[in-house]
Amino acid sequence: MGTIDSARAAQILETLLDGIMTYEAAVALVDITGVRGMDELGIGALLKAAKAARLLGTQLILTGIAPPVARTLTETGADLGGVITHGSLQAGVTYALGRSARQRVRPAKPVDDERPPETVRR
């Protein structure tokens, strides 16, 4: 895969947003396994993609960050707040599936009028 420059990052952003809208995705994984370098414009575009995903209600999960990319991200002060990262695609998929399952089984919170009566201990 090589490097992510601004042109490639723009392509990733476009594909990501199209996929989010087409599939009404709650979670999107961006796997950068094999990426050995990223310039500052590429990093900026990746962060914009994460922000755009959040604006659409989608959680971005970034997987497969190689050590040189991690170094570049920290050296440039990239703020990955709001982006979940996992070392491998498998770990990211496992997380996403677990997150999805938790959302499906979450019970609805009762409205004040629907609360069960208090139990009185004697």
- The pair of structure tokens assigned to 92 is 């990211």
d(CA 72, CA 90): 24
Q: What is the pLDDT of residue 108?
A: 47
Q: Which residues pair with 27 in a beta bridge?
A: 59
pLDDT in tens, the chain (122 residues): 688 877 888 888 899 999 999 999 999 999 999 998 888 888 888 889 899 999 999 999 999 999 999 999 999 999 988 899 999 999 999 999 998 666 654 444 555 555 555 555 55
Query: What are the Cα distances from residue 8, in Å, to 15, 34, 42, 88?
Result: 11, 14, 8, 21
